[in-house]
Structure 1
């Protein structure tokens, strides 16, 4: 599941893209581009009759008992089972819908532990795209969000066969905020996406001799040696 993505565009670009104004407290700090669970990325939600740019914690908090029997809080970041009671109330309420801006998201591909290649996916025609998200208020007055996943398209499936984030077409974003579901939860067309592979740095390789990067592929992944 997707637990790492980027928003490399500035706040002003997000405001222009979504027609939104910041609604988060002035003491909140705008996050760095690289985003992981529990960080507070930018999220677009409706406030009154207008779109607002908010900062929310990534992941609905839940308590999980580990193998040692210790119960710890763990953020649930991806919404897969749409019929689960855990998500039902947020999915049914249009006021709990949100757009999650991103410029690229990543998945680790097959490989040995500690040496798995990292793949970054983006939509070349759209510098800022949106995941279909839901959010909920927290007991401390703050907010948390998660985004939906679906079956992977033919570009993502060879790398991560379980799922991919639900990416909305720009013309469908308002439909999502209005509370529609149905055909919006579907794989984004692979021909509109691009993927780039980044291999881990070999042990003992001096930094100046190594460039993390690989082939950029669009539409369909190509076999690698």
Structure 2
């Protein structure tokens, strides 16, 4: 599963894409993100949208927890699960800026990026706020805003390296709008692989850039 990605999309670029975007992310530079780290997302706020930094990893289903510690779930596939159903309405949907993502391979990671360097990509994400859990034993219980993103069957480019899944990637304004606001019956149709021609292997030094 994808547990490493990069984003180089600037705050100014995101404000141009979403003119009414409220920026709550502080100083946000290019970054590479791993599970349980803080990463930027675009989420609902009042009557509009906001850019915020949120912890990567949604709450785990209770059956998956062997101790009090919850490391979080980074990728979500089964939208029929009662555990995820509570967060599938528009209010909990978000967009996760991504420039490239990686899948583990022997000796490191294989990175994937857009065939068109000018293409803007977002993962289709879900988020929750003010969740109480023990993410790290040394920290004890914390209250966090959390997110994860959807996965789907892989396209041919990813399947050669990861045969089970790839992230759900949205590249068009109509897709972004549908994911953020459409009824679930419509939005769930976006849980599909990116076209093969839209994704390429990226030569990388490990940063994904």
**TM-score scaled by length of structure 2:** 0.80
Q: Deviations over 1:167-202 (max 9, x none)?
A: 11312110010133232111110101111255xxxx
CA contact (8 A) 2:10 2:30 kept: no
Structure 2 residue aligned with 1:73, among 70, 75, 80?
70
Structure 2: distance between partners of 1:18 and 1:147: 20
Matches within 5 A, 1:81-160: 81-91=78-88, 93-109=89-105, 111=106, 115=107, 117-125=108-116, 126-137=118-129, 138-139=131-132, 142-160=144-162
Structure 2: distance between partners of 1:78 and 1:141: 21
In the alignment, structure 1 segments of 5+ residues that lack a partner are 199-211, 214-225
Q: Deviations over 1:70-93 (max 9, x none)?
A: 5532110100111112211101x2
- Could you say if the C-alpha distance between residues 135 and 65 of structure 1 is closer, same or farther in structure 2, counting changes exceeding 3 Å? closer
Per the alignment, residue 12 of structure 2 pairs with 12
Per the alignment, residue 23 of structure 1 pairs with 24
Per the alignment, residue 49 of structure 2 pairs with 51
- Could you say if the C-alpha distance between residues 9 and 85 of structure 1 is closer, same or farther in structure 2, counting changes exceeding 3 Å? same
Aligned length in residues:
188
| Structure with the largest fraction of strand | 2
In the alignment, structure 2 segments of 5+ residues that lack a partner are 133-141
Matches within 5 A, 1:203-218: 212=205
| Higher relative contact order (Cα pairs below 8 Å, separated by 6+ residues) | 2
CA contact (8 A) 1:148 1:165 kept: yes
Per the alignment, residue 219 of structure 1 pairs with none
2:168 is aligned with 1:172: no
CA contact (8 A) 1:120 1:195 kept: yes
Per the alignment, residue 194 of structure 1 pairs with 200
Q: Which has the larger radius of gyration?
A: 1
**TM-score scaled by length of structure 1:** 0.75
Per the alignment, residue 202 of structure 1 pairs with none
CA contact (8 A) 1:2 1:164 kept: yes
| Structure with the largest fraction of helix | 2
2:189 is aligned with 1:183: yes
Aligned-CA RMSD value: 2.3
